[in-house]
Structures are given as structure tokens and as C-alpha cells.
Structure 1
Amino acid sequence: MSADLAATQSRDWRTPLELTLLGAIWGCSFLFMRVAVPSFGPYALVEVRLVLGALVLLPFLWKARALFPARRWLWLAPIGLINSALPFVLFAYAAERAPAAIGAICNAMTVLFAALIAFLFFGEKIGMRRAIALLVGFAGVVVLATAKVSGLSIGAAVIAGAAASLLYGLGVNLVKRHMTGLPSAAAAAATLGCASLWMLPMAITHWPQTAVPFNAWACAVALGVLCTGLAFLMFYRLIGRIGPARASTVTYLIPLFGAAFAWLFLGEPVTLAMLIAGALILGSVAVSQRSA
């Protein structure tokens, strides 16, 4: 067996394992938010997440600092707001008001929103199949928004999660058009750092007035270091090895792990409406990706 063939087979075994691990890590992020946000509040929790994530990736930014002249930051700063600060706050807001699985399911809409925004504002074709997939996905959001969990309405949380995914979709398009050619990890460090500066005033004015318990701090640190900094590194490495289309299949795993972890560790229910909405959204994403 040649060395090249052996290396290829090794990568073939490693890729599904890494995709599964990344899906589990990002699925955990909704569990960590659910645990930590009651003690921190959305703004302080997101600030901790952004700062820690940026610090993990900072060495890559420092190494590539020559590629980041002042004019670059005119785009990096708004992208940090759109692609990190605001969606993180919206998902944290949702985590205060609904089970962790709700945010994880809404997160899957990012792929659909990215296609819709590319069609509406950047002139990309969408096609009939992807248009139908978008409608089915939005139907899933409606099913989720009108559902109740343990007798409580979760509509506000679903709207927040969908809005966060819409911002992610816009951010994907902005990154594609204004950050091409930059090292991914360095660019992520830059946008996370900018996002932390955007959030700093709100974090200071809304910092917890009482002591934050250890378990909330542990979840906040895991959210920043593991689910943001290290997860970004894993994702960009996968993109470099297998391409963005295959790497994006992690989208299908996040809701599954998010719901499973919330049920296993927090005892949160998985309702019929959540299953139907998840099936509609993930099915529409699958069709959209296949069409692309």
C-alpha cells in the first residue's frame, strides 16, 4: 500500500469522527448557555465567551498581523457584530426562556438564511428546489414557535433563535465577500475580538451583582474556550481538508446533540412539536445542500 493511499484512508476514517465531535461540541454550547445564562445574563455571558474565544485564536492573528492593515478592520468590525456579538446574545436570550434544544434546532436555519440572503442581496441564483426547501424550513420554525413546552410558550425564544440564524446567514455572505484570502483562524480571532469590544459596554452595565456559582463559570469558560475558540480551529481545519460543503454537514448533528444533551443532563423534554420542527428544518437543509 502506498503512503498516499494510506494517508487518504486515514483521513477518511478521521473525518466522520471529527465531524461528530464538532457536532457534539457545538451541541454542548446550547447546554452550556442554558446553565450559565441565568447567573450571568446574556450580555456578560457573551462577553466572557467572546474574550476567551478570541484569546484562544489570538496567536494565529499575531502570526498573520501583516495581512490585517487598518482598512481591513473597517469590515472586520461590523462582521464581528453581525456574525458573533448579536447572534450570541440572541441565542443566550433564547436559552433563558426555552429548552436548549430550541436554540440548537433554530441554528440549523443558518444554511437556509445564507442561501436566501445570497439570492436577495448578492445576485446568486436559488432555484426552485432550494426555494421550496426554504419554505419548508420556515414552516418548521412556525411549528416550533407556536408550540408549548411544559405548558409554556416558547415563541419569543424561537424568534430570537431564528433571528440569530438570519444574522449568521448574513455574516456568512459578508465573510465570503470581504475576508477571502485571509487565514481563517486569524480572521476569526479578529472578528471575535471586535465583537467583544462591541459587547463590552453592555457587559459592564449588566455584569452580575451577585456571585456567580462555580458551575455557571465552568460552563461559561467551556463555552468560550471549547465551543468557540477550539471549535473554530477544528472547523477551519476540516474546511481546509474536505472543503466547505462537506464540512457544513455538521449542521445536521448540532440539533441532535443539543436535544440529546439537554434531555440527558438537564431533564428537558423533547416534544412532538420539536421533533416535527427539527425534521422539517433539517430535511429542508439537506435538500438545499443537495441542490447546491
Structure 2
Amino acid sequence: MQFSVKPLHLLLFVAVTVVWGGNFAVTKLGLLEIPPIMLVAMRFALVTVILLPFAGIPRGKLPAIGLLSVVLGLLHFSMMFTGLKDIDAATAAISIQLQVPFAALLAALAFGERLGWRRALGMAIAFAGVAVIAGEPRLEGSYLSLALVIGAAMVWSVANILVKRLGEVDGTQINAWMALFATPQLAAASFVLEDGQWAAWQAADWRTLLIVAYQAVLVVALGYGTWYAMLKRYDVNVAMPFTLLVPFFGVLSGVLFLDEVLTAALIVGGAMTIVGVGIIVIRRPRLAGPKIERY
């Protein structure tokens, strides 16, 4: 097993985590203009246009990917973006990391995997870290939004189980076809659950288009494309620890670009969460599900 990373590849790993971490602040900016579910629909519509022509057809897998589009595309991202609208990017960037301990727990239930005391400890530390952040007075009145982000993390772990049951399918194919199936679902959900879409479309300018392009082109097409390429070169044990940089850059993007306040509770709770997730990732990195979108 190879653990050394070439300098260029190290740069690519870090660049991807910067893009993924920065997406929390970028999404917050987009939510100032576009309703959450509609913004997700726009993201997936552009992902479809970019990826589908190159993805090929995963024969025999489309019904399962259709189910995945409901769980991941519709439920996870709708909950994530709706929750992010009313909490700061830093809190969301840390809280969504609970998808890893949730995935470990569900893997134990679904596949009979043994948790072990180290992963159990990691789960406890991660949840305790988010609890520290949730106890801050500044989040009073935003608990529903925080619960939506944590719920999105739990839903992602369910999607991770669905992907494992898919077997060997190229990650680009999964994301391309899931985007195709999810786009009309999200558009319909936005029509039913949200309002102001037409006004948002009329007010949209080049900045709105850049935000959607950042999510579809940088986060998904280039970000995950680079990630999959690196996974072909390096074992998942080498790659997955780099994802621990994402919450760091997520918090940093909120502080630098959104003037969010870096509180003591956020620092302590964030550090606890990352340490807890880190224990799980290092012990069983495949639980982090590198094939499907996380950010």
C-alpha cells in the first residue's frame, strides 16, 4: 500500500478540499438570492449538462440510482441547503461532518460491521463537538435549521448504504444520472414548498450564475473528477484523511468572506468533531463513501 503522495498530487488533494470547503460560503451567498431547493435544482441541472454526455449508461443500475436520487439528491441536499440558509457557514461545515459517524453506525446495522471501541469513541467525540457548538447562545432560534443540517448528514449516510449496495459503478456515472433524476424532483419540490422563484429568476445576474457554476463545475465536475482520479492512484486510506481539511476551509471561508465570528465554542466544538471524525476515517476510511457528493 502506498502512503507517500507526490507533491503535485498533494496540491490537487488540498485544492479539492479548498473548493469543497469554500462551497459553504458560496452556497450561503447563493441563498441570499435563490430559494434553497431551487438553488439545488439549478446545481443539478448544470451538473447533468456537464457530466451526462461523458458518463455512459450504468446498465442494470438505473432503478437503484433513481432511488438514490430521491434520498441524496432530493432529501439530503434540500435539507442541507434549507438548514444552511439560517445558520452560519462555519457551523454547517462542522455539523455536516456527522455524516461519517452516522455512516459508521448504519454500516454496523446494515452489514453487521463491528464498530469497535475506537470508532465508538470517535462517534461520541464527534457528536459531543456538535453539541458544544449547538449550546452557543448565538444559535438560539436556529435549532430547526441546525437540526436540518444534522438530519441531512444522517440522510447522506443512508445514501452511502445505497451506493454500497449498487456494487461497482463509476462515481461520475452515479453523480451524472443522479443529477438527471433529481433535477425534476427538486424543481417540483421547490414549486410546492417555496415561493419567490420567479422573482429570483428575474433578479438573477452574473453573480448568481457564477455561484451555480462554482457548485456544478468546481465542486462536482472538477472537484469530484479530480478526487476520482486520485483514488485510482492512491488507496482510500491515503485519500480520505484529506477530507478532514474540508471543515477547516469551510470555517475559514465563512470567517473571511461572510464576516462570521470565530467563537471559542466553535473552535473547541469544531476541533472535537474533526478529531472524532478523524478517528473513524483513519480506522475505516471506506465508510466516508468517496463515490457520492458530500458537499
Match of 1:232 in 2: 224
Is it true that 1:82 corresponds to 2:76 in the alignment?
Answer: no
Deviations 1:1-33 (A, max 9, x none): xxxxxxx98x61122211111111111211111
CA distance, structure 1, for counterparts of residue 230 and residue 93 of structure 2: 21
Match of 1:56 in 2: 50
* Runs of 4 or more consecutive aligned structure 1 residues displaced over 4 Å after TM superposition: none
CA distance, structure 1, for counterparts of residue 22 and residue 16 of structure 2: 10
Match of 2:203 in 1: 212
Cα drift, residue 118 of structure 1: 0.2
Equivalent pair of 2:241/2:282 in contact (CA under 8 Å): no
Q: TM-score, normalised by structure 2?
A: 0.87
Aligned-residue RMSD, C-alpha? 2.0
CA distance, structure 2, for counterparts of residue 187 and residue 247 of structure 1: 20
Match of 1:42 in 2: 36
Q: Which amino acid aligns with 2:222?
A: L
CA distance, structure 1, for counterparts of residue 45 and residue 236 of structure 2: 26
Equivalent pair of 1:108/1:251 in contact (CA under 8 Å): no
Cα drift, residue 160 of structure 1: 1.5
Equivalent pair of 1:140/1:281 in contact (CA under 8 Å): yes
Equivalent pair of 2:24/2:253 in contact (CA under 8 Å): no
Q: TM-score, normalised by structure 1?
A: 0.88
Q: 1:30 aligns with which of 18, 21, 24?
A: 24
Q: 2:172 aligns with which of 173, 180, 185?
A: 185
CA distance, structure 1, for counterparts of residue 237 and residue 180 of structure 2: 27
Match of 1:176 in 2: 164
Is it true that 1:134 corresponds to 2:128 in the alignment?
Answer: no
Partner SS for 2:151: helix
- What are structure 1's unaligned runs of at least 5 residues? 1-7
Equivalent pair of 1:53/1:228 in contact (CA under 8 Å): yes
Deviations 1:107-155 (A, max 9, x none): 2222211111101222111111111111111111222222233x75432
CA distance, structure 1, for counterparts of residue 254 and residue 53 of structure 2: 34
Alignment of 1:1-292 (within 5 A): 12-61=6-55, 64-65=56-57, 67-69=58-60, 72-149=61-138, 152-178=140-166, 180-205=167-192, 206=194, 208-210=197-199, 211-214=202-205, 215-292=207-284
Deviations 1:151-199 (A, max 9, x none): 7543223211111111122212211221x22222112211122221321
CA distance, structure 2, for counterparts of residue 236 and residue 81 of structure 1: 23
Structure-2 change in CA distance of 1:188 and 1:213 (3 Å)? closer
Equivalent pair of 1:84/1:195 in contact (CA under 8 Å): yes
- What are structure 2's unaligned runs of at least 5 residues? 285-295
CA distance, structure 1, for counterparts of residue 38 and residue 163 of structure 2: 26
CA distance, structure 2, for counterparts of residue 233 and residue 115 of structure 1: 25
Q: Percent identity?
A: 24
Match of 1:5 in 2: none
Partner SS for 1:97: coil
